[in-house]
């Protein structure tokens, strides 16, 4: 239920909430209500007045949200606010060697300086996603995770193969309602261990059972609204596309709340594997997938499982649908360069994984330096001008990537 009736928002933010009463959740509702009712000038004025009068009287995330919203609405390209979201590759190291992954060809780990900078950013962040490689291999992950858990407004998600989880880690994860995106590209031992070379299917199943058990014992994790905390990512290829037919039953058995059905991507080091396993050169396989996926989605819906279908041609968000760089009609269709930093397992930085151009390198510069460097400013300016096809990828321009305008 919304906290605000748009028709009755006539008072200022200060009249609505005193500093000791305001929370990030209330602030977010207030911002959305005014933004969606096109009261942008009032919203900017209210947030500015509140910041000037009560600066330092509330959590850093609250002031950062206010300042970030003002700068976005004022079309600023140089920001005083800090990122609201991070997606950070901590390492390229991994405990297994998946056939479609190239991370083992690199030797990247975040530096101690970047580790300290991430720790310093945590009080300002609303969302962070940790990934690798495999995050549980990183020597810094335990300390970063434990520190992040001190901030109740900070939403965390972990990308993992799930094989290095243990009871201690699972207890922490469910206690703090941290999301887990577990990569599982085979629902039977033979397919799983063929694709995820070095992984043991029995180990995965043991950990899934333990997550299920601990989750049921923890009130916050077991709430219906938190069901999508546990999601399964499945990269579809010739070796495993037939397993789509049983994927909902598998997801239901182990209490997954979401299924992310991805397509296979090529990298510099996996070109040969990609040529063997890619889907879009086989009309027969794609026809099969296009027939199966509506059934998958229907069965998942009956079980309360959300499906992100990025592989079939049945929906406009499919990544195997023919793409073009057609400019979008909505001029500022993406807020991400004002809100987010994302690093990869080489140290490269972009606003988002779909963005075309690297904006920096954390092996050479700090996150703070990159956040307002020339390329990040250009991302913002290009989006404001509507002339961004040289920076923005076809899936974003075509509307295949969603949730680009969250405020």
pLDDT reported for residue 3: 52
Residue 124 to residues 49, 83, 127, 370, 401, Cα–Cα distance (Å): 20, 8, 9, 17, 26
Q: What's the pTM value of the predicted model, to 2 decimals?
A: 0.92
Supply the pLDDT for residue 257: 95
Please give the pLDDT value at position 109: 95
Give the pLDDT confidence of 206-239 residue by residue, as tens digits: 999 999 999 988 877 777 777 789 999 999 999 9
Residues of the chain with pLDDT under 50: 1-2, 316-317, 319-325, 327-328
Predicted pLDDT at 57: 78
Distance between CA 311 and CA 53 in Å, rounded? 51
Q: pLDDT (tens digit, 9 = 90+) per residue, 32-43?
A: 999 999 999 999
Instruction: Report yes or no: 211 and 260 within 8 Å, Cβ to Cβ.
Output: no
Judged on CB neighbours under 10 Å (0-12, 13-18, 19+), 21 is: exposed
Distance CA 207, CA 214 (A): 10
Cα–Cα distance measured from residue 76 to residue 51, given in angstroms and rounded to the nearest whole number = 17
Among residues 153, 60, 76, 33, which one has the least CA distance to residue 339? Answer: 76
C-alpha distances in angstroms, 352 versus 140, 302, 392?
A: 23, 33, 10
What is d(CA 83, CA 67) in angstroms, rounded to the nearest whole number?
11
């Amino acid at each position: 239920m919304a906290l605000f009736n748009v028709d009755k928002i006539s008072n200022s933010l200060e009249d609505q909430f005193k500093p000791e009463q305001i929370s990030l959740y209330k602030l977010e509702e207030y911002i959305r209500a005014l933004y969606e009712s096109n009261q942008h000038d009032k919203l900017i004025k209210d947030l500015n007045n509140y910041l000037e009068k009560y600066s330092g009287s509330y959590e850093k995330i609250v002031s950062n949200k206010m300042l970030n919203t003002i700068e976005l609405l004022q079309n600023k390209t140089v920001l005083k606010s800090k990122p609201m979201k991070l997606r950070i590759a901590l390492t390229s190291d991994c405990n297994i060697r998946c056939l479609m992954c190239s991370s083992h060809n690199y030797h990247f780990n975040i530096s101690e300086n970047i580790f300290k900078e991430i720790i310093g950013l945590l009080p300002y962040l609303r969302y962070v996603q940790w990934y690798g490689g495999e995050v549980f291999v990183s020597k810094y992950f335990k300390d970063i995770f434990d520190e992040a858990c001190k901030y109740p407004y900070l939403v965390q998600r972990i990308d993992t193969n799930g094989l290095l989880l243990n009871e201690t880690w699972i207890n922490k994860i469910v206690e703090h309602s941290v999301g887990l995106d577990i990569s599982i590209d085979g629902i039977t031992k033979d397919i799983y261990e063929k694709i995820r070379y070095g992984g043991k299917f029995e180990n995965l199943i043991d950990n899934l059972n333990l997550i299920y058990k601990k989750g049921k014992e923890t009130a916050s994790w077991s709430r219906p609204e938190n069901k999508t905390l546990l999601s399964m990512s499945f990269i579809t290829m010739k070796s495993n596309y037939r397993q789509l037919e049983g994927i909902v039953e598998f997801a239901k058995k182990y209490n997954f709340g979401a299924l992310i059905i991805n397509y296979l991507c090529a990298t510099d080091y996996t070109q040969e594997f990609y040529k063997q396993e890619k889907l879009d050169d086989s009309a027969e396989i794609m026809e099969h997938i296009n027939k199966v996926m509506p059934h998958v989605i229907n069965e998942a819906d009956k079980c309360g499982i959300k499906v992100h279908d990025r592989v079939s041609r049945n929906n406009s968000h499919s990544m195997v649908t023919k793409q073009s760089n057609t400019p979008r009609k909505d001029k500022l269709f993406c807020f991400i360069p004002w809100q987010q930093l994302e690093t990869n397992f080489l140290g490269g930085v972009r606003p988002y994984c779909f963005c075309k151009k690297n904006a920096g390198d954390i092996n050479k510069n700090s996150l703070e330096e990159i956040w307002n460097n020339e390329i990040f400013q250009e991302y913002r300016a290009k989006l404001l001008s509507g002339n961004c096809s040289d920076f923005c990828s076809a899936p974003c321009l075509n509307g295949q990537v969603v949730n680009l305008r969250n405020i």
